[in-house]
A = this chain, B = another copy of it.
């Protein structure tokens, strides 16, 4: 898959600038790392060895500009769910069980009802993931945010036994790659979505302006776009624990091509057969209305694939059966990265 990010740049997001930023901060980050830090930069989450047996795994994330759509549609609890599930899936890639979560909510003017709605979503997803909402910060920051906007970030911590941690070393050439469906765009690509919905910033985002597209989609576009980021914790963790799932990639910003390699050790690559599934209707709608190339769709969105796991050939049949809606999407191969 090639990396064309023209439409995304037009939507105001510069992936190259983000990559430059990442390189510039890497040495600062690594200057703080002692032997307790088990992961290199660039993974889904960071791992810290608390002692010889236990590893704490942590991740920070935001919902991105999906919050703009949620705020405009007055449906704020869904982004609370998004936030927790995105973070929980990130640490799931190491096999960690979530233990606690903290949130950060900020706006130029706090609207208590909006904060409460968001936090109800956060709490519901925490209960579902079995993790405690241990704290957080709610900040009123005049002038910092555009009027009516708010931002939402979250931090999760999980724990995993050191000898059961997923770090790529169990993945072998010949392993099958099994895909789990996403529920929609999850929390990526919304700058592009918002740009389409506002005709490039020319129109207001309102419930009515979004509903105008329902006929094209054949259903509620608001529902399709705001469907909460699916959590794979309850489904996948038992298969990680019984050893059948040997690697987990969470498909987020950068799509399959950027995220799948993060679960592979050096020297292994992946072949993905994109004919094994059809882009769900909401992605076809985005592609058509936004005039986005297929290559860029695959680079910005999960295009229907929320997670990909590596499984030994002999376990594929059982794993696909145990995971509702899963399918074999490809194979781990030698070389590649």
Q: A: which residues have CB within 8 A of B?
A: 11-14, 17-18, 20-22, 24-25, 28-29, 31-34, 36-37, 45-48, 50, 54, 56, 58-62, 64-65, 67-68, 99-104, 106, 108-110, 112-113, 115-116, 119-120, 122-123, 126-127, 131-146, 149, 151, 153, 155, 157, 159, 191, 194, 201
Chain B residues in 8 Å Cβ range of A68:
143-144
Among A21, A64, A109, A151, chain B packs the most CB atoms within 10 A around the CB of: A21
Task: Tell whether A62 pairs with B108 under 8 Å between CB atoms, given A102-B46, A115-B25.
Answer: no
In the complex with contacts A104-B62, A155-B60, A28-B119 CB distance below 8 A: yes
A123-B32 contact, Cβ under 8 Å, with A22-B138, A109-B12: yes
Q: Is the CB of B60 within 8 A of A142?
A: no
B132 touches A37 (CB 8 A): yes
Partner of A144, one of B59, B67, B109: B67
Q: A48-B100, A60-B102, A144-B67 are in contact. Are A138 and B21 (CB under 8 A)?
A: yes
**Assembly of this chain: how many copies?**
2
Given contacts A25-B115, A58-B100, 8 further A-B contacts (CB under 8 A): A11-B142, A12-B142, A24-B115, A28-B119, A29-B119, A31-B127, A33-B132, A143-B146
Specify the chain B residue showing the minimal Cβ separation from A80: B28
Can you name 14 A-B pairs with beta carbons within 8 Å? A12-B108, A21-B112, A24-B119, A29-B119, A29-B136, A31-B127, A33-B132, A48-B134, A58-B102, A58-B155, A59-B102, A60-B102, A64-B139, A141-B151
Does the CB pair B21–A116 fall under 8 Å?
yes
A61 to chain B, nearest CB (A): 5
What chain B residues lie within 8 Å of A47 (beta carbons)?
134
| Contact between chains at A140 and B13 (CB < 8 Å) | yes
Q: In the bound complex, do residue B58 and residue A157 qualify as a contact, i.e. CB atoms below 8 Å apart?
A: yes
Q: Is B18 touching A123 in the complex (CB atoms < 8 A)?
A: no
* CA of A25 to CA of B32, assembled, Å: 35
Q: Is the CB of A103 within 8 A of B60?
A: yes
Q: Known contacts A12-B142, A119-B25, A151-B144: does B18 contact A131 (CB below 8 Å)?
A: no
Q: Is the CB of B116 within 8 A of A25?
A: yes
